[in-house]
Structure 1
């Protein structure tokens, strides 16, 4: 398995600066990760830089589902739904430890503003199955009002007509992004987080030939030469394009999505529910059980402001609480019930030259600037692979014109992601059972071993091997110290927030453990990186700030 450590990062920066790349990708979210994977598969000399941590932007702030966009059928975006819905199966096959199929519930209400009637819900779910090519036991089924309430007794009874059970997929967005990047690294793509493209390099004809990049952690700058530079920065796409010499119109129209987390005892649900808000606003929300918690969202509001850390406002909270309490009338949730939350930005695109929000696209688009910058923007988490497929003909055309080189065709549908190498004669569930035994053999409880296997897939065996290398002086539970050391050695985790928020989901779904874990984790990382006291203080402060924001202390005060 390819090592991805702080030392790897240092070496990768040096390698990227030492000679021209075929392609340099700016952006380490899901879109950039998909490009990095395909570049590696094509045996290109490729690199990727990300100004924050991998997946720190939109790609760790989604609804954490790989879903096919059922709601887009209401907008008659049939082609988009077909493409995205079929991709769910591909991702599940390539990353069975991350993306798992589940039957989700669509309750149907007879009320003003309802998205679906009893008739249209059945038509939509049937079309959804057909577009996604769903067969057998996973095809949708229509259940009675009584059956809906039997499985989800907390739902509002008034106006409930029936329900639909349909296929969608659970996911962890940051972990999916990381596993794609790890596979890209294995295939030869050079990766470095916390490296910002601060300016473009140009040739005598005024065409982009690379970037001036800054190591955000040290302040050092290097020039990275590349035949093609790709802007895959999501909501930051316009910000990157503005660094060019030639002026271009803004194309991005970001909207903000907010999700909130409560204890499952306060909002018990047995499966993912996708429902109208009931507020006559033509909006739908997800309500999703996860590891003893329930989270719900999302909002969809136009956003202007700081892209790096969009905040959750009282207005966002009031809206989601009103919607959930309307649909679950006995919950009576208040702001005090909210344990954590997160906000993310959708990188939506408007038509070139348009300022009209009605021209916003839910799809993706590839465009090349006058200076030669290739930009891929828009899209959804689920169609990251399709976005890469659509971008590479443009990249390869540019490369052929500049270098005369051509590259082999690859089918990324068949490339297993890191952690997904389940033996062909086993299902993932069967693999988990066998691997849990290996975890228990090193002293883990069955519960902890299972959690690690389900989180890391076949990489769990490498995680178990960390036992002889950890040095936590017994202050951390074994499962935590294993995951931490693995994150440092194999997932380029550089800060405590990287670990707590994106290498694991402790900050979001186990925030009650943070007070016990933060000091020993900080001490472990201080020894590992040999931080000075001022450096440790800096990362401690960053972690405390992330805890405050994630737990919404700034709103509750």
Structure 2
């Protein structure tokens, strides 16, 4: 089923015409999960996102589906139990995106250490128990010598042991778009670049829709719905300000920053979760990805424009100091950072806790007097649970309207691309020959099969179109598929969220930018002026990711 610019156009026309059972504002993973659950139940559900799908927090995380091991230190056992078990569900439904691996947690004897050898063993045992991890993936502890043999880049001083435990590698934007596509396949109407600029009220003062604006065309229109849900993450308070009588602040957004370097600069073999060693009671992730390594994250209160949180020199100094302290091969500087990203955690304000790292990552669903439902807080891993909890309140509101749909457990719904039979390596191997026949090398064919899962044949069906572009075949196939099946509307959609080039292969944008924009101009009907405007925007985004403004100040 196509999901293109034309789909978007027809979707907007449908949203104008009918009264929906449910309208979701926000196209991150939370909104996408709600849309899938609503569509799977058979309801008339629509979703609008003011940016691109996953344009906010859902493309700016640490790119893991993890259970929150560190929350055990704060005795958030119920939260860890819920999200840790959910990892396996997501991995089963999106095996091409979410894949299990052992993560290493080094244990150091130093002031402020999160764990000693004994408490690490206890925590990892409890973590496995709460997650119901089977014997194949049970944690194990090794002595210092074995840790250093496995990860010689770590500093050996004060190292006691290493705990190896199950967690899941993920691509957050990819998980979101595959959820969006599955919701579309299930009957939902979804459109990116449609902003809620106000609410529509009935004669009783209840919210029954939104005043919307297509930010690509500036067209304004109303969308009517029996129930409206605010799933805008960090923007939750900003949207609630558009209500007639709502000024209470619920959100406490904090900023998380990540940096990308060449893998040779930080040659870790596996994902590592380690104390910073800076005496600040914080931990950081260091994760290999292809020929790059990325690391983060910070956790600082944020005020400013939410769309693109600014990375500061303070962020850079902190993370470089932490990595250089912990790894003996690292002598990283600002010049080594190839790309970067900053995202906002949608934390719920806690008046009794001023430490961002101490605020719960749990979620909350609440109902305003005018009928607006807001889902806030939470973790990416728990997006299905957040949808289930929100639907408890949606069902109550529907009941008042005489609306009822049978329950549906999304635990068994494979996401788009997730119909992979057998193991992922076997699937990739089975699909390799067709990619090579079309002109890809084996590594490229394997990469695409891993990226698109069971949608890979749809990708290869576009080979003739791709070969007509003046673009390398791998990138041309991704562009053709993105335009036809993933509602790519802007260059950043393609480079930043339908592919990971803007983060993990940013240098290739220099050679791809012009031919990609020329092809998008012809496919999307842009004027030359529009193409030049999008080109300037992409140039600005590349400079921001490369931290050019900070490097120029050095």
- Normalised by the shorter chain, which TM-score bucket? over 0.9
Within 2, Cα distance between the matches of 1:549 and 1:3?
A: 33
Which residue in 2 is equivalent to 1:468?
464
Within 1, Cα distance between the matches of 2:79 and 2:342?
A: 25
1:9-48 equivalence runs, <5 A:
9-48=8-47
Which one of 435, 449, 474 corresponds to residue 431 of structure 2? 435
Return the offset for 1:464.
Answer: 0.5
How has the CA–CA distance of structure 1 residues 380 and 260 changed in structure 2, closer, same or farther, with 3 Å as cutoff? same
Return the offset for 1:137.
Answer: 2.0
Count of matched residue pairs: 550
How has the CA–CA distance of structure 1 residues 260 and 235 changed in structure 2, closer, same or farther, with 3 Å as cutoff? same
Within 1, Cα distance between the matches of 2:344 and 2:392?
A: 28
Within 2, Cα distance between the matches of 1:222 and 1:338?
A: 44
Which residue in 2 is equivalent to 1:498?
493
Structure 1 residues 400-426: Cα deviation after superposition (integer angstroms, max 9, x where no partner):
102x12111111000000000123xx2
Within 1, Cα distance between the matches of 2:136 and 2:437?
A: 36
Return the offset for 1:440.
Answer: 1.5
Structure 1 residues 414-472: Cα deviation after superposition (integer angstroms, max 9, x where no partner):
0000000123xx22221111111221122211111100000000111100011123364
1:267–1:294 CA contact under 8 A, matched in 2:
yes
Return the offset for 1:329.
Answer: 2.8
Which one of 512, 533, 549 corresponds to residue 517 of structure 1? 512
Within 2, Cα distance between the matches of 1:3 and 1:41?
A: 19
Which residue in 2 is equivalent to 1:180?
179
Within 2, Cα distance between the matches of 1:364 and 1:87?
A: 15
Which residue in 1 is equivalent to 2:533?
538
Q: Does 1:480 align with 2:478?
A: no
1:349 partner SS: coil
2:200–2:210 CA contact under 8 A, matched in 1:
yes
1:265 partner SS: helix
Return the offset for 1:355.
Answer: 7.6
Return the offset for 1:362.
Answer: 1.4
Return the offset for 1:393.
Answer: 1.3
Structure 1 residues 146-180: Cα deviation after superposition (integer angstroms, max 9, x where no partner):
00000100101100001010000000000000000
Return the offset for 1:523.
Answer: 1.2
Return the offset for 1:130.
Answer: 0.2
Within 1, Cα distance between the matches of 2:118 and 2:212?
A: 56
Which residue in 2 is equivalent to 1:417?
415
Structure 1 residues 199-232: Cα deviation after superposition (integer angstroms, max 9, x where no partner):
1000111000100100000000111000000000
Within 1, Cα distance between the matches of 2:411 and 2:429?
A: 27
2:265–2:329 CA contact under 8 A, matched in 1:
no
1:110–1:161 CA contact under 8 A, matched in 2:
yes
Within 2, Cα distance between the matches of 1:28 and 1:203?
A: 25
Within 2, Cα distance between the matches of 1:20 and 1:534?
A: 37
How has the CA–CA distance of structure 1 residues 406 and 120 changed in structure 2, closer, same or farther, with 3 Å as cutoff? same
Within 2, Cα distance between the matches of 1:296 and 1:440?
A: 34
Return the offset for 1:519.
Answer: 1.1
Within 1, Cα distance between the matches of 2:130 and 2:57?
A: 27
Return the offset for 1:244.
Answer: 0.4
Q: Does 1:357 align with 2:354?
A: yes
1:357 partner SS: coil
Return the offset for 1:356.
Answer: 5.2
Within 1, Cα distance between the matches of 2:262 and 2:423?
A: 32
Within 1, Cα distance between the matches of 2:208 and 2:424?
A: 45
Within 1, Cα distance between the matches of 2:398 and 2:330?
A: 58
Within 2, Cα distance between the matches of 1:382 and 1:101?
A: 14
Return the offset for 1:246.
Answer: 1.4
Q: Does 1:215 align with 2:214?
A: yes
Which residue in 1 is equivalent to 2:387?
388
Structure 1 residues 385-408: Cα deviation after superposition (integer angstroms, max 9, x where no partner):
000000001111101102x12111
Return the offset for 1:346.
Answer: 0.1
Which residue in 1 is equivalent to 2:48?
49
Within 1, Cα distance between the matches of 2:521 and 2:467?
A: 12
Within 2, Cα distance between the matches of 1:553 and 1:530?
A: 32
2:394 partner SS: helix
Return the offset for 1:554.
Answer: 1.5
Structure 1 residues 261-319: Cα deviation after superposition (integer angstroms, max 9, x where no partner):
00011110000000000000000000000010010000000111111110110000000
Within 1, Cα distance between the matches of 2:403 and 2:319?
A: 53
Which residue in 2 is equivalent to 1:347?
346
Q: TM-score, normalised by structure 1?
A: 0.97
Unaligned runs of 5+ in 2: none
Q: Does 1:452 align with 2:451?
A: no
Which residue in 1 is equivalent to 2:59?
60
Within 2, Cα distance between the matches of 1:56 and 1:267?
A: 28
Within 1, Cα distance between the matches of 2:425 and 2:210?
A: 45
Which residue in 1 is equivalent to 2:403?
405
2:316–2:334 CA contact under 8 A, matched in 1:
yes
Return the offset for 1:531.
Answer: 1.6
Which residue in 1 is equivalent to 2:71?
72
Q: Does 1:126 align with 2:125?
A: yes
Which residue in 1 is equivalent to 2:235?
236
Q: Does 1:507 align with 2:502?
A: yes
1:471–1:524 CA contact under 8 A, matched in 2:
no
Within 2, Cα distance between the matches of 1:464 and 1:63?
A: 30
1:472–1:520 CA contact under 8 A, matched in 2:
no
Which residue in 1 is equivalent to 2:548?
553
How has the CA–CA distance of structure 1 residues 80 and 261 changed in structure 2, closer, same or farther, with 3 Å as cutoff? same
Return the offset for 1:136.
Answer: 1.3
1:350 partner SS: coil
Q: TM-score, normalised by structure 2?
A: 0.98
1:272–1:287 CA contact under 8 A, matched in 2:
yes
2:266–2:329 CA contact under 8 A, matched in 1:
no
Structure 1 residues 452-505: Cα deviation after superposition (integer angstroms, max 9, x where no partner):
0000001111000111233644x2111110000100010000111110000000
1:104 partner SS: strand
When structure 1 is superposed on structure 2, of 341-350 and 426-435 the one drifting more is 426-435
Within 1, Cα distance between the matches of 2:387 and 2:20?
A: 18
Within 2, Cα distance between the matches of 1:238 and 1:320?
A: 30
